[in-house]
Chain A
Amino acid sequence: MIELKGLTKVFDTGKARLTAVDHVDLTVPAGEIFGIIGYSGAGKSTLIRLLNGLEKPSEGSVEINGQNITAISGPKLRKARQKVSMIFQHFNLLWSRTVRENIEFPLEIAGVGKEERRKRSAELIELVGLEGRESAYPAQLSGGQKQRVGIARALANDPEVLLCDEATSALDPQTTDAILELLVDINKRLGLTIVLITHEMHVIRKICHRVAVMEGGRVVELGEVLHVFQHPKETITKRFVAQVTETEDSAETVRHLREQYPEGQLVKLIFVGDQAEQPILTQLIREYKVEVNIVHGNISHTQRGAYGTLILQLKGTADEISKALAFLGAHDVQTEVMGNA
């Protein structure tokens, strides 16, 4: 669906040359929610603007649905842009237009007639849940509502791809969740391919299927979100993963837990995907003579399953404990003995 080949963008400011995007190869299949994460300056903003031709690449190509975006210009590029729409961190709504008029703007550009525009904007207003606010001006809306207008506007011309440029970075956590849910809903309902850039790992965790980690203009790590969460390879990826899983790995925490729970054995369990949703612990407690005490837990839900860690204090005979661990191992739960008291 989307194919980037050797994509490179060099900014030549006269004095200095800055390679913002450095030979990026990526393929995003239709219907996927693909996340690109990186700190500011990693080149992700430039990358996403290369996808709809707002920036011209220095090298390489962008192909969307078989059309080479980098090779076209003028009316052809403008036509293509109607199928690759974009939402923005700061919404970029026209303050001089009402909600309805903002949503109708891309339809005006596409030359849709007035009646059809009215009909379409009414549908979109309903889709994003803004009924009753049609005649409000952006200044009268909250951040979350503004982004809903942004999304409705982006969907007006039935795009195939939606590009999200830090779409939730200016929103509070609750609003962020609501907007992310809306994006997932749209992805499922309309089969839209979504490419989003962010610096927040929980955005990736919540809605992305696959993720690319960018640093210094390059994609340094790429994979299924769940897999990347389990086995982050690069330091930068580990830092991003730590944003959402945090605490349990640090030596400090382990020492602290040992002090707090001196008896029995501390075991760390790592659940991935389906097991995180099965009643494994219930079975463990029923079938083995061990006392189970949960001392720490953390589950992150991703689009393709959950990823969680649990630290248990197991009390019982050494024999029973090792049987219990074997049971867990048999159910594909990774276990790690954190040391005896």
Chain B
Amino acid sequence: MLETLFPNVDWADMWEATLETIYMTAMSTFFTFVIGLVLGIVLFLTAPNQLWANKIVNWLTGAFVNIFRSIPFIILIILLIPFTKFLIGSIRGPNAALPALIIGAAPFYARMVLIALKEIDKGVIEAARSMGATTWTIIRKVLLPESKPALISGITVTAIALVGYTAMAGIIGAGGLGTLAFLDGFQRSREDVTLMATIAILVIVFIVQFIGDYLTRKADKR
């Protein structure tokens, strides 16, 4: 049945490409989460009237986030080629896609973190201060737990965007389902390969969305 519908699909290749896509998505999501979280917290705390109110740091962080969020991803990959070469030693393969994926997605997630933190009731932060909490304690025990559902739903959206980015990175040789669909499917006119790669990507997206929704719901005690 599968053989008649997808005559040209090499299932071993398809599976390997799927694993590569999952690998790139997982790694880049992890680093995007960490870097985006730090950037978002810095953006939040250095804003006027906040605990680390600092115009210069706030402006610099804001500028960095806005610039990298605005560059189209496909151009960002090309711009980052020298940087990637220096960091990874190659511009091909799943690892070579990571710098561009992370630098492209982290600023996007930082904005989401900022929005999530702004949603926190100011009174709760004041209450923590009135108890003698340090800023570090406030970050760890107030800001992060109180914005947890929004942080999780934000990283879910970002992870899904990253699945899309990995496919784009595939076109310039990062590997994964993007490469497979482009080289094996599009360039050799094997529509069934392109279709199967698309289905695999959709399945990954649905699974990410499902897990994200579940964790968001579980974290929300409001």
Binding site for B on A (CB under 8 A): 52, 54, 77-82, 85-86, 88, 90, 92-97, 105-106, 108-110, 137, 139, 153, 157, 163
- Decide if B137 touches A109 in the complex (CB within 8 Å): yes
Stretch at the interface among B121-129, B170-178, B181-189: B121-129
Report chain B residues within 8 Å CB of A80: 132
In the complex, what residue of chain B is closest to A75 when comparing beta carbons? B134
Which bracket fits the contact residues of B?
20 to 34
Task: Find chain A residues with CB under 8 A from B148 CB.
Answer: 96
Interface of B is mostly: helix
B131 touches A109 (CB 8 A): yes
A-B contact pairs, 18 of them (CB 8 A): A52-B130, A54-B126, A78-B134, A80-B132, A81-B129, A82-B132, A85-B130, A85-B131, A86-B127, A88-B126, A90-B123, A93-B127, A94-B142, A96-B145, A96-B146, A106-B132, A139-B221, A163-B130
- Residues of A with C-beta under 8 A to B221: 95-96, 137, 139
How many angstroms between the C-alpha atoms of A96 and B221 in the bound complex? 6
1/0 contact trace for B10-53 toward A, CB 8 Å? 00000000000000000000000000000000000000000000
- Verify B132–A109 contact, CB threshold 8 A: yes
Smallest CB gap from A74: residue in B: B134
Q: Does chain A have a CB within 8 A of B157?
A: no
In the complex, besides A96-B219, A109-B137, 9 extra interface pairs with C-beta distance below 8 angstroms are: A77-B132, A78-B132, A79-B132, A85-B130, A86-B127, A92-B121, A96-B145, A109-B133, A157-B131
Contact partner of A108 (CB less than 8 A), chosen from B123, B127, B129, B141, is B141
Considering only CB atoms, which chain B residue lies closest to A82 in the complex?
Answer: B132
B-chain residues with CB within 8 Å of residue A92 when the two chains form the complex: 121, 123-124, 126-127
Least distance between B129 CB and chain A CB atoms (Å): 6
Complex formed: what's the CA distance from A85 to B133 in Å?
12
In angstroms, Cα B132 to Cα A97, docked, is: 18
Instruction: Evaluate contact between B222 and A139: CB separation under 8 angstroms.
Output: yes
A94 lies within 8 A of B146 (CB)? yes
Residue of B nearest to A83 (CB): B132
Query: Are B123 and A105 in contact (CB-based, < 8 A)?
Result: no
In B201-219, the 8 Å CB interface with A consists of 219
Chain B residues with Cβ below 8 Å from A97 are: 145
* Interchain nearest-CB distance for B109 vs A (Å): 21
The answer to whether B124 touches A105 (Cβ under 8 A) is: no
Q: Are A88 and B132 in contact (CB under 8 A)?
A: no
A86 touches B132 (CB 8 A): no
B123–A106 touching, CB < 8 Å: no
Residues of chain B lying within 8 A (CB to CB) of residue A95: 146, 221-222
Please indicate the chain B residues that have their CB under 8 angstroms from the CB of A108 in the complex.
137, 141
Contacts of B123 in A (CB 8 A): 88, 90, 92
Q: Which residues of B contact A54 (CB under 8 A)?
A: 126, 129-130
Distance, CA A77 to CA B145, complexed state (A): 25
Residues of B within 8 A of A85 (CB): 130-131
Interface string of B159-201 (1 = CB under 8 A from A): 0000000000000000000000000000000000000000000
Cβ–Cβ < 8 Å partners of A94 in chain B: 124, 141-142, 145-146
CB neighbours (8 Å) of B121 from chain A are 90, 92
Interchain nearest-CB distance for A45 vs B (Å):
11
Taking CB atoms, residues of chain A closer than 8 Å to B127 are 86, 88, 92-93
* Distance in angstroms between the alpha carbons of A117 and B12 in the assembled complex: 56
- Closest beta carbon of chain B to A145's beta carbon, Å: 15
